[in-house]
Chain A
Amino acid sequence: MNLVGLWAVGRVVGSTTADDETLRALWNEHAGPLLAYAMRLTGGDRGRAEDVVQETLLRTWRRPPEADPERPSLRPWLLTVAHRIAIDHHRARQARPTEVGEAALAGVAVDDDVDRALESWLVLEALRSLSQTHREVLLETYYRDRSVAEAAATLGIPEGTVKSRTFYALRSLRVALEERGVTS
């Protein structure tokens, strides 16, 4: 092998560790909210949504977007790429005669408003950043619509604790949202 070839191999091997770290960081930070978003796009099909997540992150890792000082966050990019991939997959299924019926059922839900999708994403991120107990109390009270007494029974804690935990959970949530630029 000539010198240029050796140099090329050396360069690629040398960058392997950094590449792995990039991939892991992408995964840790975005896989969760991205999966939730992808499931909206696939009509709740988790298998297909995981395919979308994998391809979105792989594509981003292979060809990261150019740094844009106006939009320092990677999230709008990920949303757009995931959206495009979900549509590609959807079309690919439609192109296969055997799956036409199924494709018609589970269409790609098109979220026209990227800003709105982004806000949902940030809410998920903020909730994810809360402590387990804070998230749990909000799941019980807000999302499962339980009263203070019911939540206390489910969580096995006194009613007073449900109230104070809800208070501190909301306070942490507000801070977490503010950190992400969500203020309204």
Chain B
Amino acid sequence: MTCTRETSVGAYILGILEPAEREEMARHLATCAICRSARDEFAALPGLLSRVTAQEVETATEPPGELAFRRLSAAADRARRLRRNRSVLSAAAAVLLVLLAGLTVAAWPDGSKPPTTVSASHGQVHARVTIQAADTGSQLTLQLRGVPSGQRCRLVVVGADGQREVAGSWTATYAGTAEVKGWSGLAPSDVHRVVVETPQGRDLVDFPLS
């Protein structure tokens, strides 16, 4: 069973018919079960359509271009390389550590202290700090990742007697990574601990050195 007027029910529901035709349709609906059934079928649609705007429909239909996908794909590649490097590194780590220990001794035959590198993790935060003798104390190089983006951080050096010295401060980037250089008046051998903390004094990561 069909009705020749059924295809006007959509326009009726959306309220786009001219006033005269609209009234005629309203009268017709009272007597036509086919058109009433179409009206009931569509009744909820205007409410659902109102959940989004025309602009959103256009945005969703024409998604970010191929260029944006390539940007994502490149970011994924970087992540993949990092992952691969890490798995290779961890697999070869034991061998390398033994080799490095030997090299380190061989590379500083004159007796001056080699830089010390320590890695540490705390939850999501992973970090590595290198401490090296400088003219008036130590130079520290910190590599950090996993810090919430926008987080203010500071690098604190703690001496053997518990004295604290802020060696640098910065804000984590969007990616939550940072490479920071800092200086301390303490000689490397006097550095007892290195801490990365928030301005409120919450430890993000802690490197005990002795």
User: Chain A: residues with CB nearer than 8 A to chain B?
Assistant: 1-2, 4-5, 7-9, 12-13, 16, 19-20, 23-24, 27, 31-33, 35-36, 39-40, 50-51, 53-54, 57-58, 61-62, 88-89, 91-96, 116, 119-120, 123-125, 127-128, 135, 138-139, 141-144, 146-149, 151, 162-164, 166-171, 173-174, 177, 182-184
Known: A32-B60, A116-B51, A170-B14. 19 other contacts (CB 8 A): A1-B92, A2-B95, A4-B91, A7-B91, A9-B84, A13-B84, A32-B64, A33-B60, A50-B68, A58-B79, A91-B149, A92-B150, A92-B173, A141-B14, A141-B16, A169-B10, A170-B42, A171-B10, A171-B41
Residues of A within 8 A of B79 (CB): 58, 62
Of residues 173 through 193 on chain B, the ones whose CB sits less than 8 Å from some CB of chain A are 173-174
Residues of B within 8 A of A184 (CB): 44, 48
Choose one: B14, B68, B75, B151; the contact of A166 (CB below 8 Å). B14
Residues of A within 8 A of B151 (CB): 95
Choose one: B8, B41, B60; the contact of A124 (CB below 8 Å). B60
Residues of B within 8 A of A39 (CB): 56, 59
Residues of B within 8 A of A135 (CB): 57, 61
0/1 per residue, B57-79, Cβ < 8 Å to A? Answer: 11111111000110111011001
Take A9-B84, A12-B80 as given contacts and tell me if A92 and B174 are in contact as well, using a CB distance cutoff of 8 Å: yes
A82 to chain B, nearest CB (A): 14
Indicate the size class of the contact surface on chain B. 35 or more
B64 to chain A, nearest CB (A): 6
Residues of A within 8 A of B69 (CB): 24, 27, 31
A164 CA to B54 CA in the complex, in Å? 21
B152 at the interface (CB under 8 A from A): yes
Tell me the interface secondary structure of chain A in the complex: helix
B13 at the interface (CB under 8 A from A): yes
Residues of B within 8 A of A173 (CB): 45
A-B contact pairs, 21 of them (CB 8 A): A4-B91, A5-B92, A8-B88, A12-B84, A31-B63, A32-B64, A35-B60, A35-B63, A36-B57, A51-B174, A92-B149, A120-B51, A143-B54, A143-B57, A144-B54, A147-B16, A148-B18, A163-B7, A166-B16, A167-B10, A168-B7
Q: Which 5 A-B pairs have the closest CB atoms?
A: A92-B150, A32-B63, A167-B10, A143-B54, A166-B10
A32 CA to B16 CA in the complex, in Å? 29
Residues of A within 8 A of B54 (CB): 139, 143-144
